[in-house]
Structure 1
Amino acid sequence: MNYNEITKIVTHPGHAHRDDFLSVCFVLALCSQEKNIPIVERRDATSSDLNDPSVIVIDVGEKYQPELNNFDHHQFDRNSDPVCALTLVLQKMTIYEEANRGFRWLNVTEKFDSKGPFYVANEIGIEWNKISDATFSPIEEVILHMFSKLKKNTKTMSKLMITIGNELLNTLEQFTGRWQQLSDSITTSLVYGNEVVFSLGILGDNDPSFALNAYVAENYPNAVATITHDDRGEGYCLFRLNDSPKIDFSKIEKDERILFAHKNGFVAKTHDKLESTDILELLEKSSK
């Protein structure tokens, strides 16, 4: 996309959804970096829109033509892979793979929008009519309702959407950088045959848990715990993964090296930095 040449963004009227809203946010954010704020209109797309690459058509028009900046998915076969307008926009921006890794909500957004609540409810094992209880966000609902009422973006809405888009882009950039840091610094140990991930290359004042769970899930799916710097104190944080029955940190709450251990056993924190032998000893005492 030539973001300095985009004149208009067209998306569907009526009730707004996460995929069309965020797609517009991403486009507006990247256009704003080129000092360009295109008009946003919520209406059906015309043939003129669909044939003009300076007009980005999102989630409407029944055309997927990235070379013309048309990004609708509704014409895809019902048995096609879960894809929404946001998928197509991120692919055009060449950041889809990073986004799919960094935004853990993207996968379910694709499924919810393209396959519906029954599909998602079945995947996560709840009744379909309770799906809104599990996914409801009052903040998201209010913002989407505000966007739904507009036929054309106001300055206030465009400013909000640019801010959201930039925040997500910045988060994704940070996530990608952190992924590389983790890949360069992580080590592992076995405690009674159970894999424990040590991520001590990220200091406590630099959000040491950021991107860690996603990295561990992809690279060490059988790990039972992570060890990081504590983001609140001077010691280490011992965290149980996936509620593993093989680790219970409540067992070490009386140990003099422990500042805090949760009664449910999923996390413990040490007073100070410890030698690796001390950490391994605490892990052994916590193992079942």
Structure 2
Amino acid sequence: MIPFTTILTHPGGAHKDEFLACCVLLSLHPVPVVRREPAPTDLADPATCVVDVGHEHEPARNNFDHHQLPKDHPPTCSLSLVLQHLGLYADARQFCAWLESAEWFDCRGAVTTAQWLGVPADVLPKLNSPIDITLLRRFALAKRLAPGDPLWEMMRMIGEDLVNYVRTLRARLDFIGRHAQFWTLDLAGSPGQILFLPRTEPLPEEPSLGLDEFIEERQLTGEIVGLVYPDRRSTGYGLGRFRDNPRLDFTRINRETDVHFAHARGFVAKTSAHDIPRLQALVTQSGVAS
């Protein structure tokens, strides 16, 4: 990407797509963000990165707008265009489950997005939180954000985390592929497949990160019922259902002396056990008939 000295986006109401597009850009170029309509000179100047406004998608000039695209174009928002230009879009679509729905919401609106998701339209507002509302409201009120402003700093952190997640998850999936083991255990009379990730040194900061994506990429979502992974808070392991599979209920082991936590709803447990036969025994004991 050609370096730029300013990010410019539209004034007025703020939406998730240009907010996140600006966050991603700030993680790469920590420059001021200005909210106003662009002039022709802004669109012509690569030093001004124009986002979600201007009716022009010209990455060579750092212009990333989608509103000029035809109405039957696949849902594409300003965040999509920025991620495409950075070479991160394919992995982001694969690893960030929220991205496609964000594209639909921005390009098709709430009602059509709800229909696409197969849910009533009144479900979508129920998924909002004060985090969404406050960040977008404060962004909408701002005319200029610069380093040192609390919202600017928060936006850069969001962008850094998003970019780092997408860029490092591929390496994380390769790591899991090198170390993961698959157990087939007797769960209440019928076999169930468990993914086991052994403890390594150094231990990843989030040992369970990427397990869901690894299973999905390997097309094993219909086979795996549970996970066993290093507990980052102890020398033991976490035991969990995969996508809340009902074939495991960890309340069945809550009285075991080496189990120091079992959630009341049975979907996760923590144990100080670290040898494979004992871990397998705990999972087997947690099995529920299918």
- The reply on whether 1:184 has 2:178 as its aligned counterpart is yes
1:108 and 2:101 correspond:
yes
Shift of 1:115: 2.0
SS in 1 for 2:144: coil
Residues 1:283 and 2:280 aligned together: no
2:56 alignment counterpart: 63
**How far 1:98 moved relative to its partner?**
2.9
User: 2:258 touches 2:272 (CA, 8 Å); kept in 1?
Assistant: yes
Number of the residue aligned with 1:24: 22
For 2:87, the equivalent position in structure 1 comes to 94
What residue in structure 2 maps to residue 207 of structure 1? 206
1:132 aligns with 2:130: no
Gap runs ≥5 in structure 2: none
Q: Which runs of 5+ in 1 are unaligned?
A: none
Kept in 2: contact 1:250–1:265 (CA 8 A): yes
Q: In the superposition, relative to structure 1, how do residues 124 and 265 fare at CA in structure 2: closer, same or farther (>3 Å)? A: farther
Report the more deviating stretch, 182-191 or 256-265.
256-265
Give the superposed CA RMSD.
Answer: 2.4
**Cα distance in 1 for residues equivalent to 2:81 and 2:200:** 34
What is the aligned length?
279
Work out the CA distance in 1 between the residues paired with 2:242 and 2:58.
42
1:235 aligned residue: 236
Q: CA deviation at 1:130?
A: 3.2
Residue 170 of structure 1: which of 161, 164, 175 is its match? 164
Structure 1 residue 81, shift from structure 2 partner? 2.0
Is contact 1:12–1:43 with CA below 8 Å preserved after alignment?
yes
Please say if residues 195 and 228 of structure 2, whose CA atoms lie closer than 8 Å, have aligned partners that are also in contact.
yes
Q: 238-247 or 188-197: which moved more? A: 188-197
Q: Partner of 2:269: helix, strand, or coil?
A: strand
| Alpha-carbon distance in 1 for matches of 2:240, 2:50 | 45
**When the two structures are superposed, what TM-score results if normalisation uses the length of structure 2?**
0.85
Q: What TM-score, normalized by structure 1, do the two folds share?
A: 0.86
Task: Kindly provide the amino acid, as one letter, of the partner of residue 131 in structure 2.
Answer: I
Decide whether the 8 Å contact of 1:186 with 1:201 is kept in 2: no
Q: Is the 8 A contact 1:189 1:195 kept in 2?
A: yes
